[in-house]
């Protein structure tokens, strides 16, 4: 009943040097594509440049966050610096959505007011982008074979390569068939993909920052699983949240039965259950006996009066 919740950008097992080089190469490619897009008049090329900028920014955030997270917890940040990446991602995603919406507007405008496009420039720039996308995917893949995270990053780079292929074919259609309408169509497809991915990631990032319950977990299931253990009478004040993308935390009050197992044995059983069945490695448990429960009830009655 284990839950897989690793959804990183595929950087956990990649060396810092390789990660930094992929950032530099992708940023350089983005600048090149923006310039080529401005010269050729292609919005699709600029959209692809935005796509690559997004990848470079995501890798850069992962690089910086990984460096920061190595500092570990301190008195100021007792959970450590893991959420630095989430804050950076939130800023990046909001900016990306704004630019994505602008691309949709610009593509729609080009349908009604077509501009002169240089198909040769578009093809050349898209060809260079395709080569860089393939090299980036190969670097990440070859550095960490057997890692699901890196496979996810590899597939992400394949979608980048797909976007570059689309722009390359669009350039060919403009150069040889004079189909200028292809450029805004490709722009809309790329912008749509960027917005779809951005809104999905924004929702996920917001949920973690708002300390929401992980979507693949059920509080009812967790409660029932703990209460099923010998010696447990009731579970209440149950809270589950994500510290970051890869670490979950739980706190709960557990009422234990009279003449049950010792607190230390029962606490270890609950912690093992949470870690093995629900991938919750950090748990804080308040164990109460029946006397505590009655006393709490009496206090509530006095407070209500």
Render pLDDT for 10-43 as a digit per residue (tens, 0 to 9).
Answer: 445 456 677 778 788 888 888 888 888 888 888 8
The Cα 92–Cα 13 span in angstroms is 23
The Cα 163–Cα 58 span in angstroms is 18
Nearest partner of 48 among 108, 118, 112, 100, judged by Cα: 100
Q: What pLDDT does 156 receive?
A: 63
Query: Could you tell me the CATH superfamily of domain 219-304?
Result: Cation efflux protein, cytoplasmic domain (3.30.70.1350)
For the segment 187-243, what is each residue's pLDDT rounded down to a tens digit?
Answer: 888 888 878 888 888 888 888 888 888 888 899 999 999 999 988 888 999 999 988
The Cα 174–Cα 118 span in angstroms is 8
For the segment 155-196, what is each residue's pLDDT rounded down to a tens digit?
Answer: 566 667 777 888 888 888 888 888 888 888 888 888 888 788
CATH of the domain spanning 16-209: 1.20.1510.10
Across 91-110, average pLDDT: 82
Domain boundaries, given as residue ranges, for the chain: 16-209, 219-304
Q: What pLDDT does 290 receive?
A: 66
Could you tell me if 215 and 248 are in contact, meaning their C-beta atoms sit under 8 angstroms apart?
no
Q: What pLDDT does 66 receive?
A: 65
Please report the sign of the dihedral spanned by the C-alpha atoms of residue 270, residue 271, residue 277, residue 278. positive
Strands 248-256 vs 282-288: parallel, antiparallel or unpaired: parallel
Highest mean pLDDT among 13-17, 68-72, 191-195, 294-298 belongs to 191-195
Strands 248-256 vs 232-242: parallel, antiparallel or unpaired: antiparallel
pLDDT higher at 144 or 72: 72
């Amino acid at each position: 009943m284990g839950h897989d919740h690793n959804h990183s950008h595929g950087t956990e097992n990649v060396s810092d040097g390789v990660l930094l080089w992929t950032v530099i190469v992708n940023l350089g490619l983005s600048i090149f594509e923006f310039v080529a897009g401005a010269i050729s008049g292609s919005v699709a090329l600029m959209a692809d440049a935005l796509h690559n900028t997004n990848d470079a920014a995501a890798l850069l955030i992962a690089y910086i966050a990984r460096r920061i997270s190595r500092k570990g917890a301190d008195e100021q940040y007792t959970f450590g610096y893991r959420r630095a990446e989430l804050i950076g991602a939130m800023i990046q995603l909001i900016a990306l959505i704004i630019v994505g919406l602008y691309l949709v507007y610009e593509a729609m405008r080009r349908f009604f007011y077509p501009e002169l496009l240089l198909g040769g420039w578009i093809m050349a720039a898209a060809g260079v982008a395709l080569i860089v996308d393939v090299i980036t995917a190969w670097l990440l893949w070859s550095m960490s074979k057997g890692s699901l995270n890196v496979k996810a990053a590899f597939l992400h780079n394949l979608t980048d390569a797909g976007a570059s292929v689309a722009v390359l074919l669009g350039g060919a259609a403009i150069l040889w068939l004079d189909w200028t309408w292809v450029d805004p169509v490709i722009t809309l497809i790329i912008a749509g993909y960027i917005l779809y991915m951005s809104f999905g990631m924004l929702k996920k990032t917001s949920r973690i920052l708002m300390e929401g319950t992980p979507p693949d977990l059920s509080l009812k299931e967790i409660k029932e699983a703990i209460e099923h253990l010998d010696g447990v009478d009731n579970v209440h004040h149950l809270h589950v949240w994500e510290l970051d993308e890869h670490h979950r935390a739980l706190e709960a009050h557990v009422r234990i039965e009279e003449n049950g197992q010792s607190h230390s044995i029962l606490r270890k059983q609950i912690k093992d259950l949470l870690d093995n069945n629900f991938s919750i490695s950090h748990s804080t448990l308040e164990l109460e006996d029946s006397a505590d429960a009655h006393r709490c009830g009496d206090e509530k009655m006095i407070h209500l009066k």
